[in-house]
Amino acid sequence: MSKYDFDLFVIGGGSGGVRAGRVAAQGGAKVGLAEEYRYGGTCVIRGCVPKKLMVYASGYSEAMDDAEGFGWTIGKRSFDWMSLRKKIDEELVRLEGLYRKGLTGNGVEVFDMRATIKDAHTVELADGRTFSAKTILVATGGRPYLPATKGIEHVMTSNDVFLMDELPRRILVVGGGYIACEFAGIFNGMGSEVKQFYRGAQILRGFDGEVRGHVADEMIRKGISLHLGTDVMEIEKKGKELHVTCTNGSVSVVDAVLYATGRIANTQDMGLEEVGVKIGRRSEIMVDRYSKTSVASIYAVGDVTDRVNLTPVAIREGMAFVETVFNDNPTAMDHEMIPTAVFTQPEIGTIGYTEEDAREDFDIEVYRAAFRPMANILAGRDERALMKLIVEKASQKVIGCHLVGPASGEMIQMVGIAIKMGATKADFDRTVAVHPTAAEELVTMKEPVR
């Protein structure tokens, strides 16, 4: 009989923690899991799932415009925010129920409250109960970061968007990362007047330079008022309006301000440093390649480690943790060549090296196609798609792919398989095109750009 109450205690009921807890329990481990808010974590409750549903909703305004170009007569239009919010809420309740059932149905004991760490083998719940555990897994994710700007108490973050009681007529989005750009597109598509401030020279830092410029141009074309090199100095509430003073002295009057200026790990007041767990500069838990912290019995996965902050990565890290700790099969998550999508409007799909980073490390060739998708022609829409392949000259391996346009997220999943397998440009070239599709451009780019 074990001297511990649990073989594994998981703190955090998001995608990574739930997967690790469930799979460990399926293998026979006695598992406890504590979650202080809702099961499903950032992705399911206040991130990718509700956001993607909002992206779909916001896209219908353009779809109805496009339909008229194909002979459809569209009548009176209106958008009901609360109707959408109600449907999204119902879907989140359904998904949260599945997460909870996946845990309890496999024997995991769940605790609907906050948990902190007392020592290397002990957790304490918010109600004062303590439990011992042979292994502790921290999977508490991240939270939005807010700077110390005057009037910051008047803003909302991405956590709050899904709880709004009404759609703002005028909104300012502050930030230039993918979350800020996605929400700028969502609000614009739903009919809000959108301004976006970003203090940098171009949005989407870290993405391929040409992709960044292409998406910025299309966002502006769609009606978003994008202000680069601009930051907020002060926010003042006057009645129901917010008066925002920016760095050039101008004042914007809006109904809501959304801050999307980065995220930091949820490690505050958990007792981690007190028991010897090393914490990084961005509050992240420092781990080795097997997700083990500086304390041998404590591991961490997902956004709380600030490695690659994506839901599927957290799930894979959770699976690798179970293999390592419970199946005696040391397994490190492979963080290289991870495909990802950004649901800006237009959509981005990307994997591997950007052109800029590749030029620093390799002698490369770049293949590019920029074109007007077929559906846009009859619709009378000028929006163009962009596709890029980054090829290492010596090996002819495709080491990067960047897509902007319809269904880029779907395409990059399939392209990601090929690139992860080490496909060469010749492999792409000898693949027969599927016509007529946008994706066929990926296998018909014959000459590198000069």
394-432 pLDDT tens trace? 999 999 999 999 999 999 999 999 999 999 999 999 999
Domain closes at, from 276, 296, 326: 326
Contacts of 94 (CB under 8 A, 6+ apart): none
The span from the CA of 220 to the CA of 344, in Å, is: 12
Question: Is 112 inside any structural domain?
Answer: yes
- Segments forming the whole domain that contains residue 292: 6-143+264-326
Predicted pLDDT at 355: 98
Predicted pLDDT at 2: 80
Burial class (CB in 10 A: 0-12, 13-18, 19+), 120: middle
% of the chain exceeding 90 in pLDDT: 98
Domain closes at, from 326, 358, 377: 326
What's the whole-number mean pLDDT along residues 202-228? Answer: 98
Phi then psi dihedrals of residue 133, to 5 deg: -145, 135
Q: Are residues 166 and 134 in the same domain?
A: no
Query: What pLDDT, in 10s, does the model give residues 157-198?
Result: 999 999 999 999 999 999 999 999 999 999 999 999 999 999
Q: Are residues 350 and 311 in the same domain?
A: no
For helices 178-190 and 209-221, give the axis angle rounded to 10 degrees: 20
Q: What pTM was computed for the model?
A: 0.95
Q: Are residues 128 and 156 in the same domain?
A: no
Domain closes at, from 299, 326, 353: 326
Please count the other Cβ atoms lying within 10 Å of the Cβ belonging to residue 346: 23
Predicted pLDDT at 1: 64
* Cα 438 versus chain centre, distance: 25
Q: Are residues 39 and 115 in the same domain?
A: yes
Q: Are residues 137 and 286 in the same domain?
A: yes
- Residue found under tokens 């974590």: 41
Cα-trace Rg, the chain: 24
Predicted pLDDT at 296: 98
Q: Are residues 166 and 59 in the same domain?
A: no
* Of residues 410, 372, 412, 407, the one with CA closest to residue 388: 412
* Cα 412 versus chain centre, distance: 15
Predicted pLDDT at 365: 98
What's the whole-number mean pLDDT along residues 62-70? Answer: 95
Question: Is 422 inside any structural domain?
Answer: yes
Rounded alpha-carbon distances, angstroms, from residue 280 to 17, 289, 334:
21, 16, 21
What's the whole-number mean pLDDT along residues 148-152? Answer: 97
Active site residue 435: yes
DSSP 397: B
Q: How many folded domains does the chain comprise? A: 3
Q: Are residues 209 and 348 in the same domain?
A: no
Query: What pLDDT, in 10s, does the model give residues 243-260?
Result: 999 999 999 999 999 999
Question: Is 239 inside any structural domain?
Answer: yes
Question: Is 335 inside any structural domain?
Answer: no
Q: Are residues 213 and 346 in the same domain?
A: no
Q: Are residues 272 and 416 in the same domain?
A: no
Question: Is 450 inside any structural domain?
Answer: no
Question: Is 58 inside any structural domain?
Answer: yes
End-to-end CA distance of the chain: 69
Question: Is 124 inside any structural domain?
Answer: yes
* CATH of residue 99: 3.50.50.60
Question: Is 449 inside any structural domain?
Answer: no
Cis amide linkage into residue 436, ω under 30° from 0: yes
The mean pLDDT value of the chain amounts to 97
DSSP lists the bridge partners of residue 117 as 123
* CATH of residue 406: 3.30.390.30
Q: Are residues 122 and 164 in the same domain?
A: no
Phi then psi dihedrals of residue 161, to 5 deg: -55, -40
Q: Are residues 245 and 393 in the same domain?
A: no
C-beta separation of 160 from 50 below 8 A = no
The span from the CA of 57 to the CA of 206, in Å, is: 28
Q: Are residues 257 and 289 in the same domain?
A: no
Rounded alpha-carbon distances, angstroms, from residue 342 to 10, 215, 324, 362, 417:
30, 11, 32, 26, 18
Residue of 121, 214, 243, 435 marked active site = 435
Query: What pLDDT, in 10s, does the model give residues 9-48?
Result: 999 999 999 999 999 999 999 999 999 999 999 999 989 9
What is the band of 450 on the pLDDT scale with cuts at 50, 70, 90? Answer: confident
